[in-house]
Chains A and B, each alone.
Chain A
Amino acid sequence: MQKKIASFFKSS
């Protein structure tokens, strides 16, 4: 399953 990049980096 392809993860989303935002699930790894907090939005600043």
Chain B
Amino acid sequence: MFEAKFEDGGLFKKIVEAIKELVKNVNLEANGTGISLQAMDTSHVALVALQLNEKGFKKYRCEKSLTMGLSIENLQKILKCSGNDDQITLRTQDEEPTTLSFTFESKNRISEFQLNLMSLDQEQLGVPDTEYSSVVRMPSNEFTKICRELGNINEAIGIETSKEGIKFYVKGDIGEGQVSVKINDTEKPEERVECEVDEPVNLSFAVRYFNLFNKASALSSQVILSMSQDQPLVIEYIIEEMGSLKLYLAPKIND
């Protein structure tokens, strides 16, 4: 028996919105500690990882670990029947569920849906706990804007960190450009830029993945970029009181 109730159903909708362009079918894992999801994008360049802790739910019960294979596209069709202010409850009765039930509750109506599940034998990747040599925290809409603007100039974006801050740069056929974001210690937490640089990095990534993933900036006003030279970058959106949504993106290595 599994039951998880989102106080803020809109949050769950934003999470699905953020990953729907990157992953098609996913295994949703539920156990006593909460819900998690890990899936590679179709080109196997990126890995999406979601972790939602049971304490963040209005109601949470999971007697036995469950794996529920679902199509993100079909999940979206069900969620489109809910309002952004609804409370959303996920529920299954059986140990090997073939469907996942949804209840959408608002002041004046209650809706029930069942999504058919699939059996997906997807390889799970072991993401090692890593000490990153550069960790940058910045406003998520600033990062989204820089990726979108520089992505118009070139499909690969360079990221260089130093004690002073983080520099994004592009060199394309039409020309080149760079944006340096400076550290600030403003008292407004959502506008703060912090850099912890033990070792500077200089990495290159396909910016299209950032642009696909940056829909997640609706989840948090800040984004955390963790980097080490020649390692995948991690973009992390902290989901207040619940957990986090991460994108691991493999770098482009110059031959």
Contacts and interface: CB of A to CB of B under 8 A. Distances in A.
Contact of B125 (A1, A2, A3, A5): A5
Interface in A1-12: 1-12
B117 to A, nearest CB: 22
Interface string B232-255: 100000000000000011111111
Contacts of A3: 45, 250-253
Interface string B2-46: 000000000000000000000000000000000000001000111
Nearest to A8: B232
Contacts of A9: 47, 125-128, 232, 248
Given A2-B206, A5-B45, A10 B252 contact: no
A6 to B, nearest CB: 6
Nearest to A12: B126
B209 to A, nearest CB: 10
A1 B252 contact: yes
Interface residues of B, number: 22
B252 A6 contact: no
B141 to A, nearest CB: 26
Contacts of B255: 1
B250 A7 contact: yes
Nearest to A9: B125
B206 A12 contact: no
B125 A10 contact: yes
A5 B44 contact: yes
A4 B125 contact: no
B124 interface: yes
9 contacts: A3-B45, A5-B44, A5-B46, A6-B44, A7-B250, A8-B231, A9-B126, A9-B248, A10-B125
Given A5-B44, A9-B128, 18 more contacts: A2-B45, A2-B252, A3-B45, A3-B252, A4-B250, A5-B45, A5-B125, A5-B232, A5-B250, A6-B40, A6-B125, A7-B250, A9-B47, A9-B125, A9-B248, A10-B126, A12-B125, A12-B126
Interface of B: 40, 44-47, 123-128, 206, 231-232, 248-255
